């Protein structure tokens, strides 16, 4: 981690089996900001953020079901975009178009 071009902290990353990378950067960034605002020093804050980011990519339950999100938030408007072979495995659309 750098501040004004000067290295102020270094922390190891966790090795995890990756389930999905969606949201990892957001989880890392949010954890880093909260840790720093809570008064942790740079090294400890970076270690916390690394752990939260690793947990986000390794936990499949961290990622929402896209079809359920489409139904809940967009109704039929988003469903055709999500119903594509690269997004949904065959037979999982639940009878949706």
- State percent of the chain over pLDDT 90: 24
What's the pLDDT tens digit per position in 38-64? 899 999 999 999 998 888 888 777 766
Q: Higher model confidence: residue 72 or residue 40? A: 40
Assess contact for 25 and 50: CB atoms under 8 A: no
State the DSSP string of 35-70. Answer: HHHTT--HHHHHHHHHHHHHHHHH-GGGS--HHHHI
Q: Which of 18-22, 30-34, 59-63, 82-86 reaches the highest mean pLDDT?
A: 30-34
pTM of the model: 0.61
CA-CA distance, 66 to 85, in Å (whole number)?
13
Domain ranges of the chain: 2-63, 64-97
Q: Which of 13-17, 65-69, 87-91 comes out lowest in average pLDDT?
A: 87-91
């Amino acid at each position: 981690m750098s501040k004004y071009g000067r290295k102020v902290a270094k922390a190891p990353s966790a090795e995890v089996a990756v389930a999905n990378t969606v949201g990892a950067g957001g989880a890392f960034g949010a954890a880093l900001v909260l840790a720093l605002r809570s008064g942790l020093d740079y090294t400890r804050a970076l270690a916390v953020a690394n752990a939260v980011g690793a947990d986000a990519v390794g936990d499949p339950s961290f990622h929402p079901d896209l079809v359920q999100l489409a139904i809940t938030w967009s109704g039929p408007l988003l469903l055709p975009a999500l119903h594509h072979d690269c997004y949904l495995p065959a037979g999982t659309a639940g009878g949706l178009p």
